[in-house]
Amino acid sequence: MTARTARPPLLRELLLVAGLFLVYKAGRLLGPDHTDGAFPNAHRVWDLERALRLPDEGAVQSLLLHGETLAQLANTYYATVHFPATAAFLVWLYLRRPAHYVWARRVLATVTAAALVVHLVFPLAPPRMLTATGLMDTARVFGPSVYGPPESDQLSNQFAAMPSLHFGWALMLAVGLIVATGSRLRWLWLLHPALTLLVIVGTANHYWLDALVAAVLLTLALAVIHAPRRTATTVGRGGREPVPAEGRGLVGAGR
């Protein structure tokens, strides 16, 4: 394999990503032991949004409630797109843009680690659980739902609303593909985080501030972890990029 097509060893990357995923799940499952403040925090977030005059989440949800099919589509998008889209993004970068793959993996790992810390120190009940919001749990009413009753759900932390990794990962997917590709249509990738934002708010799984905090964390990560430069050849032909020396060492936030 030449320098231009060199990429991190596949087995090492699979083990690394699998390890990161296990750490992510373990961190999420620690959350229910730290949820005493989840509902008081939810009231604080809701009141802060009203003080900041942010749009009412109910206005977005009302769009979904015009028909059962639309609500089901939004619930399905929430339940099925998050992980597969991110995995496909990383696989494509690994095969076609190795240097950008290392960069994206580091950024995603950094944002996810920071999010897990916030989840533990600031547990937050989602708006679907907060009576004061007047919002409906669309997944419970229309299906499909990925969550069981909070008191018996052993697979997820339902009090980890802030920040929204659904939105943070979707935004990184768009940023990564915009940076790594040269098509004039690449800006259309921003439709993915835009749609994700409408879905997570409309289904009452997240507040606006959950997405805002995720965007801030991503911005900070991108400011520290710089993207590799695209060459004129790469932009014009869509070819593979060389992996810089620091990328081959797999150092940084992805470890």
pLDDT tens for 60-104 read: 999 999 888 999 999 999 999 999 999 999 999 999 999 999 999
DSSP structure class, residue 124: B
How high is the mean pLDDT of the chain?
84
Average pLDDT over residues 137-153: 79
Check: CB of residue 193 under 8 Å from CB of residue 81.
Answer: no
Provide the pLDDT for residue 253.
Answer: 40
pLDDT higher than 60, residue 251:
no
Taking Cα atoms as reference points, which of 97, 103, 92 lies closest to residue 234?
97
The structure tokens listed for 134 are 């007047």
Give the global pTM: 0.85
- Residue 161 falls in which region: left (phi positive, over 0), alpha (psi -120 to 50) or beta: alpha
More confident residue, 25 or 10: 10
Provide the pLDDT for residue 3.
Answer: 39
* Range in 46-60, 80-94, 219-233 with the lowest mean pLDDT: 219-233
How far from 112 is each of 27, 157, 196, 221, CA to CA, in Å?
10, 14, 17, 10
* Range in 40-49, 63-72, 234-243 with the lowest mean pLDDT: 234-243
